Structures are given as C-alpha cells and as structure tokens.
Amino acid sequence: MVNESEQPTASAPLKFREPNPLAEGNYPGFAPRSVTENGLRIDYDVAVPMRDGAELYANVYRPEHTAEDLPVIIAWGPYGKHGGRTTAPSRSVASGVRHEQLSEYTAIEAPDPQFWCPDGFALMYVDPRGTWWTKGDYTLASDQEARDFHDAIEWAGTRDWSNGKVGLSGVSYLSIAQWRVAATRPPHLAAINPWEGLTDFYRDIAYHGGIPETGFMETFARRSLGYSTTRVEDLETLHKEHPFFDAYWQAKVADLAAIEVPAYVVASWSNQGLHGRGTLEGFKAISSPQKWLEAHGRKTWQYYYEPESLENQRLFFEWALKGVDNGWTRRPKVLTEVRERHSVGEFAQETEWPIARTAYTPLHLDTAAATLDEKPSETSTALRYPAQGEGNGARFRHEFTERTRLTGHAKLRLWIEADGSDDADLFVVLRKIDRSGEAVPFPFFALYDDGPIALGWQRASHRALDAERSTPWQPWHTHDREERLEPGVPVPVEIEIWPSSTLFEAGEQLELIVQGSDYMTGVLPGHRTTRNAGDHIIHSGGDHDSHLLIPVIPSA
C-alpha cells in the first residue's frame, strides 16, 4: 500500500511507502553485542550518532589482536549489514561467485571481513537511515543519505582504534553511495573504490534514452529496497511520475567535480544498461589528481571477489590508507580489457579515458544492401520493419579486412520515420560475428553469458541534445521535453551506444541491429512499456546521413 503523504525537499516532493517486513531476508534481529571469533573482534549494532541527533547502526569488524592504528574501510548500502542472504543474485551460480570464496560475515556486494581484517584493516558495515532497525525515513541517493554517510565516516575516523584514514568499497549501490558522500569531502575520507555504480539514475537506469526501464527498476524498488521498521522512498511510484530529467532525478546526481580524494574506479563493458556508463562518467568527471580506471568485460561480482582483484584492492588501500609504497602509484592510469570472446581478452594500458588517439570512424548504413559501408550511398533508400514483436528489426553488417580494435564510445545517427505512431522507441545492439557467421557471446549484466558487445536506447521524441555536453562520439540528451513525430516525416536521431572494447580479426564482422524491443527479452534490464506501433522506417543514403560511428584504436 502506498502512503500518499509527501515530504517537501529542497529539490522535489518525495512519496513514501510501507516497508518490507524485517522477517524476510534472514534478518537476525537487533542485538548490540561484542564477540571474538575466527580471528575477528566483532561489534554488532553499534550506535553511530548523526549531526541531527539521530543514530544509525553499524557492524564493526577488527582483527582480534590489533587494538589501534587501524585504517577503516566502510561499506554502505540498504541490503543489510548482517548479510547472509544466500538467495541474493550476487551469490547465485550464475554470478560466477563460488560459495567458498566468501566468509559468513560478508554483506551483500561488500568486502569480506575475513580478507581485510587479518591484513590490519577495520571493516564497517552501516545500515542507512530508515533501513532495517535504523529509524527515520529511507531516501536513496539523497542529500540526507550523503550527510549521514559523511557523519559515519567522521565517526569511524575518530575512534581510538582508528588511524584516522577511511576508505570506501563495495559494488553497485555500495558504489553509488561513494560518489555522493565523496562529494561532501569528509575530512577523514582518504580513498574511494567505486566498483560499477551508476552516477545518473535517470540516464543510467530509470529511463534509457527516455524509454522507461520497467524490469530492474521494479525489482529493485519492490524486493531489494525498503526493509525497515519505518517507511521508505516509493521509488516505483516516483519513477512513473517523473518521466523527464527534472528536480527529482537531479537531486540524485553527485557533484562529481567536487571529488578530490584518490580513486580506484572499476567499470565493465558487460554491465550494459546499469553500471557501465555511469562508472565511466564518474571517472571522467571527478577532480581527483590521483585516479585510476580499470574497465573489464567479465561478470560484476565475480570480478570483484576474484583473487587478482582483491590483491589490487589491497594494494590500493595499503597505499592510500597505510602509506605503504607498494608500487601502486606506478600502475597505469587506465587499463581496458580488449575482449575477443567470453572471458578471453587482454588488458591494454592507456593514459586517459576516453582514449585520446581514438579514430572515430563512420560506417554508413545502406538500407538496400543491409550493410555498413565506409562510403555513403548517393542513392536514398529506406527499410521498413515492424515496430513491435520480438526478433523484428533491421540488421546491418560490416566485415573487417584487417585486425581492428574498437574501444570506447559508439554512436548511431539514424534517420527514422514512424508509420502508425507519433513516436518511436529504438533499441540498438552491436554484436560480433565470427568468420563462420555465428554471433560471439559475451558476459552480460552480471548474470548472463550470451550478451552482445554493447547496447543503446533512444525514444525519438527525446532526441533534443545538450549542445554543450554532447560530443561527436557521445550525444547528451536533455530529456526535458518531447518532440513527437509527424506522419511521413523522417527525423535524425542521435543514439548513444554504451562504451565497450572488442577485438576483430580480418574476416570477422560487426553487426548492428535496430529494433523496437529489448534484444534479450525477459532479461534485466527490460522495457515492457513502449510507444511503438505499426512500422519503423529507416532512411539512408543521399540526404539521409544514417551512420554508425565506431571508436577505432590505431595499432601501435
């Protein structure tokens, strides 16, 4: 049942709903206590005071035989500091995380105390305001949450067992929270490790290209959020009530330029539709003079917990929080995995992102031949496909004549006409095709094994661009108004295709698919509500400069 009461804020009114019951999710209950076991000193349900007099509750893990001078790593998220939910997707077989990799103490998407504490770190899990036993209203990615997280950092950094330096770690929401709080500049915050977390709720997940995301958002709002004894932000209702990028969504965007602490940022090509874009945007926008980016093509949680990744996290935090000269600062500033196929690829060393030497190359659509050509056709042609129905759409291919590496942003400029509707929701897919004509699968969205190279989405009526923020390779849409289509009138639409990195050998092909529905129906993220009806008509050649812009990295 929705609670229709509204709470005015500085940015937009919020609505709240009744919480999910605490009996679900293996919640052990509220029980402040201290225990020593398995080499750990554990303080459960520790009260952490906030500036307004409220209290949050945290679990604090420390090495059993070290009482002082401990750097602190904090994981902050709404899924429960107690962890233990074996049904969590991050612990499923599909995630690639083996059961024996994590100790019983590990919270969902969080660092493992049994890995960190023996190495001389304290680890702290915090339940945000309004979640689980902590009182108050839960508001996600809000100014209130950022202030609370700030105060928790300062509390941890001033304990008699702390060395005064605090780092942040965790995946997904635990990463989103890092961007928000780091922008408030807590004095004791010394380093962040955002691991695949979005930075723009509207563009990164809620409305892909202006198309409402109805799969992940509903699951996230109903099942993942809102275990509480009070009330929680009604994300599902607010999502539907705010179809444009307005004050509600702006309030969830971090001031990335204000972030100056050292940052080890990890993104993935595989997390299309949730974390990939926002993590890379975060890296680009933060002001940290010491920042490192690693972009991989594997499964999210599997990569976070694998031994090599844990070692990299350890090196970063030992350098940033303990002052150990362990070679971390000599690490390449940017590492990008160049994928060949599922779980096969090599990391390339770069100095910046996007890669400055990128040769953005247009491949022109030929709707008559269903090809992507280096030169545009002088003849104007058109291709019609049904706007509804799984598997319908237009396909175009380009065969590479030499080894080619694509790494970075891609963009599709499409002249589109709708016959039967005054709008068009466009779903764009890039796939790699091997020499035998078969599609090459890649890890996708943390749980799947048969994904494409990259995806893009765009609602034609949301085609208005922000001229200052757009670049030739990355359109930036304002999403502040609609421009409906007129019958018989094709319009140019610029479609952002999320970044990726793939190696093609001579004879292999790049396939572009344009259709009116999700490429992988039933797989998150999903879009069940579109404005599509009748047919879409793609125009190319002549005056219609429909083309795919690809990021070619010149060979050394």
What is the chain's Cα-based Rg? 24
C-beta of residue 545 within 8 angstroms of C-beta of residue 445? no
pLDDT tens readout for residues 107-124: 999 999 999 999 999 999
pLDDT in tens, 173-217: 999 999 999 999 999 999 999 999 999 999 999 999 999 999 999
Global pTM exceeds 0.75? yes
Q: To which residue do tokens 């955002």 refer?
A: 194
Q: What is the pLDDT of residue 186?
A: 98
**Run of H or E including 74:** strand 70-76
Counting as low any pLDDT under 50, the low residues of the chain are 1-10
Q: What is the pLDDT of residue 5?
A: 35
What pLDDT, on a 0 to 100 scale, did the predictor assign at position 7? Answer: 38
pLDDT given at position 84? 64
Amino acid letter for position 298: R
Please tell me the predicted confidence (pLDDT) of residue 2: 34
Cβ–Cβ under 8 Å, residues 527 and 449: no
pLDDT reported for residue 25: 57
Lookup: tokens for 85: 């939910």
> How far is 422 from 485, CA to CA, in rounded Å?
5
Task: Specify whether the CB–CB gap between 534 and 387 falls below 8 A.
Answer: yes
Place of tokens 């209290």: 55
pLDDT confidence of residue 9: 38
